[in-house]
Structures are given as structure tokens and as C-alpha cells.
Amino acid sequence: MKQYLLGIDIGTSNSKGIISNLEGRIIKSYSISHSVSNPRSCWAEHDSIKIWWDDFKKICNELLSKKSIKNDEIAAIGCSGLGPSMVPIDKNGDPLRPAILYGIDTRSKNEIKYLNKILGLKSIFENCGQILSVQSVGTKILWYKKNEPDKYKITSKILTANGFIIYKLTGRYSIDLCSAIFFSPLFNINRLCWNIEISEKIGISMSVLPDIYKPYDVIGEVTKEASRETGLAEGTPIIAGAVDTFAEAVGAGAIESGDVFLSYGTTMTVIVNSSSLKTHTALWANMHYVPDIYTLIGGMATSGALTTWFIKNFMQVESEVLKTNGLSVYPVLSDMASKVPAGAEGLIILPYFSGERTPINDESARGIIVGLNLSHSREHIYRALLESTANGVAHHLDIIGKMNIIPKRIISAGGGIENETWTQIVSDVTGLKQICIGESGYNAPVGNAYMAGFGIGLFKNFSMLKNKWVNKESIIEPDKKKHLKYKKYLKIYRSLYKNTKEEIHKLVKLSS
């Protein structure tokens, strides 16, 4: 009897997988860590065989290793991948170069300028639903063609992370709709198809672009060869999958119009769901993993990374001592921040320590600490760092609010939700109730498993997901008094970037 579902996510720094029963109980789970290669400044790459495919195989073999679950009991497979990313393959399916990753890889800045010039900013936005940025895969394909022409000439297809896994499993080329939308300017968001006119104009052959599928469409079945390598049963169906963040949102239950999904990680991802297509130049318009839901997406360049920076520069000794004694520094940090009043007694930080993606789309933005006086301590700085990310979220929601989209609630996941002070600050700054999801490290695989079941017809809707699959950990209510106080701070936060932008850019040039 096919009573289980398999979900796997290939992420930036690790890959994770779960086998779940049909009621959402995780039977087995497994994760593998890996690293990002940075062979040159501004480059971020993965080896699609040694990381993507080998991780997938190891996870499958580990989950099936003890024979407590037979491979022919798995009804379907769902896989998501870090994205948007790209890997070119030749006619034999072999990668022609390391995979180029999403917005953390910024090599295509010149291509963005070129495409904006020949296509026009307005035309690009109207056709794609988003402006070009280092998140746009089409700009990286153009970089590939210009800089590695010999490899481009023998390129058969360009695939995403989950698309590459599906190819290895089924032998079929595919791309999910969510990922295809990020292939700006090669995708038309109004017609939901590849843009032939633009493809021809910029000299990118349509032949390298795979067929587009809905994320929950069944692409094919596990082949005999893939079965031998992974331990999966030959003939097991696999769906198209999606970008990892959408899978994580499904696993957290953020699937309804008005839901705001926050992923607290090294970076912060903001997904706002809507029942209709909305576009804004500051955000990325897209579709959801689930049918009939549209999204506006924000990606903040730093979030948990600010805590890492703080530990390294202000608490390294304490952190090492705690680690030696088998303790974590993170509860100490949360307690430190909780003892500082809202607003950090007049301290505001801009969190642009690695530039910023949305909503300002400025890679030359930098962090700013404003309001320091001799009474401030490292505790104040850490509190202000947490508040800075909350202000960044509020900045996104302010834009959303002006588009007649009313955020109803925040659903959050990721390692950062363990910091109760941080999640409370986010609710206080935004004024929204926040639902924190437990076992959040496996939300993306859980989302993939459910969507695999949906794709093959085991689930007709998402009531089972909401009622049984989603593991709610805590509910945070905003403090109304603190929210009113934070609104005054937010106004100053919003003006700081505008008033210092030119000087910051000058500093960047001086330091380069």
C-alpha cells in the first residue's frame, strides 16, 4: 500500500528530506550540510552533481536504509531547490559549468545595465512584473553566453536546481512556473509563457529553455537507472516542485490570500499572498506553489547574518565559552535584547550590511548606526539590530498596504523563530499577529511532500495541510503601545536611507 510521501529540499547551505505518512507525521528525516563556492568576487556557485544530485541520492538512500519503509510504499515525490538558480547541460545531460546561484551571485550587473538600455525599464516591468536585478536568471544566461560562448554553443538546456533533479530522476526537461517567472526578461508574466520576442532580440535561443509546468504537475516517473542510484522504486511519480521558499511557505501553512510568510534565516524572505496578480517595482511578482494564489516577494540581504556579525565582533569569547560547556549563545542574546526598551533608547540601525535587495534594490547600500551616545551598550546595539530587520519587514508591508492588499497575519519559520525577543519585536513593529511554526527546519520538505500528494490526487484541497500537517509552535500578539512607539521610529528609519544614499555610495567607491 502506498501510504507515504517523500519531500526533499536542496538549499543554499544544506539539503533536507522527510518521509511523511498521509496525515503529516514525519516518519523519518535527514539532512546534509554543504557549502557555497565563491571562486571570484560576486560569484556564488554549486556543483550540481556533487551537491544537488549527490545530496538527493544520499538523502533517499538514508531515508530508505533501514527498510522500515519499503520504496514501493512511497506514493509520490516532491523536490524544491534554492532559487532562482541555473545550470547549463549538454545533450548528454552533463553540466557544462558549476551552477550559478540566485541573488547572492551578482556577476550579471553589466548585463542588467545593457538589457535595461536596449529593452527599456518600463517595457521590462510591464512584461515581467519585476525589474531586473541580480535575482533575474535571464541576465545570468546572457552573462554565460557572452563570457563562455563555447559552452553556450553546446548547451542543450538550462535547468534550475529542482529541474536538474527531476531530469536526473525522469530524463525529462522541465521548469516550474514559479522558477520560470524569475527568468526575467525571458518570461512574460501576463501570458505566463516564455517571451519569444525578447528572447530573439537579445540573442538567447528558445531551445535552451525547458517546457514550463505548474509546480504540482507530475513530470514523469523514476527511471530504472535513477532507481538504482537513489533506492527509489522505479515508476514513482515526481512533481515539478518549486523554489525552496515557496515549499517552505506551504509547509508552514501560509497558503491563503492575506497571509504573510516570513522566513527567518541568514537572510529574510517576505512572501505576501494575494488572490490576484499585483506588481510593484520594489518587489518580485510571482505565483505560489498552490493553485490560484499570487505572491509579492521580498528578499532582505541580511537578517540572521546580523546576529552572526554581532557575535563575531561583540561576543566571540562568551560564545566560545558557552560552546565549550555545551550551551548556545542564542538564548543569552535573546535575553540581552529583551532587557532593552523598545526603540533601544534612541538607537536606529539600517540593516544593509551586504547591500540590499528589496525593497530598495541597491547593492551599494550599507549599514548605518544612528543615535549612539555614551550610555549605549552592546545590548542596545543588538536590540537595534533586531529592530532593523523588523523595520525592513514593515517597509515591505507599507508598500503592500498601498496596493490594496491587506495583510491578515504573519506565519513565520526558520531558525530565527527560536529567538522569542526577535519575533515579538517583528509583531510589535508590524502590528500583526504572528504564528510561529515548529519543526521549521523541515518545512520545505514537508511542503514538497504535501504538494506531491496533491499533484497525484491524494489530497483534493488543503484542509488536511491546515488541520493536521502544520505544526504550530506559538502565537505572538503585538503590543499596541509598543507598536505606536515603533511607528515613530519607522518613520525615521525610512528617511535615513534617502538622506544618506549619495554619501554611502561615495564611501563604497572610496573603499573599492
Give the helix ranges, DSSP H, for 357-442. 378-401, 420-430
Look-up of cell digits 538607537: 347
Q: Where are the domains of the chain?
A: 4-242, 304-397+484-505
The grid coordinates listed for 355 are: 547591500
Taking Cα atoms as reference points, which of 442, 410, 430 lies closest to residue 479? 430
Contacting residues for 329 by C-beta, under 8 A, at least 6 apart:
311, 315, 318, 319, 322, 323
Q: Quote the distance between the C-alpha of residue 364 and its chain's center.
A: 21
The secondary structure of 44-97, three-state, reads CEECHHHHHHHHHHHHHHHHCCCCCCCHHHEEEEEEEECCCCEEEECCCCCECC
Q: How high is the pLDDT of residue 308?
A: 94
Q: How many CB atoms neighbour CB 409 within 10 A?
A: 16
Q: Which three cell numbers stand for residue 501?
A: 544614499
- pLDDT at position 415 is 87
Residue 402, judged by CB atoms within 10 A of its CB (0-12, 13-18, 19+), counts as: exposed
Q: Sort strands 218-221 and 237-239 into parallel, antiparallel or unpaired.
A: antiparallel
Topology annotation, domain 4-242: Nucleotidyltransferase; domain 5 (3.30.420)
Distance between CA atoms of 387 and 285, rounded to whole angstroms? Answer: 26
Tell me whether domains 4-242 and 304-397+484-505 share a fold: yes
* Predicted pLDDT at 269: 94
pTM: 0.93
pLDDT 10s per residue in the chain (512 long)?
A: 789 999 999 999 999 999 999 999 999 999 999 999 999 989 999 999 999 999 999 999 999 997 789 999 999 999 999 989 999 999 999 999 999 999 889 999 999 999 999 999 999 999 999 999 999 999 999 999 999 999 999 999 999 999 999 999 999 999 999 999 999 999 999 999 999 999 999 999 999 999 999 999 999 999 999 999 999 999 999 999 999 999 999 999 999 999 999 999 888 999 999 999 999 999 999 999 999 999 999 999 999 999 999 999 999 999 999 999 999 999 999 999 999 999 999 999 999 999 999 999 998 999 999 999 999 999 999 999 999 999 999 999 999 999 989 999 999 998 899 999 999 999 999 999 999 997 668 999 999 999 999 999 999 999 999 999 998 889 999 999 999 999 999 999 999 999 999 999 999 999 87
pLDDT for residue 440: 63
Q: Is 435 exposed, middle or buried (0-12, 13-18, 19+ CB in 10 A)?
A: buried
| Strands annotated E in 246-326 | 259-264, 268-274, 284-287, 294-300
288: enclosing H helix or E strand: none
Instruction: Tell the CATH topology of 304-397+484-505.
Output: Nucleotidyltransferase; domain 5 (3.30.420)
Grid look-up 499572498 returns: 273
Q: Residue 439: its pLDDT value, please?
A: 67
Residue 347, C-beta contacts closer than 8 angstroms, at least 6 positions apart:
369, 370, 371, 372, 376, 380, 381, 383, 384
Rounded to whole angstroms, the Cα distance separating 217 from 287 reads 14
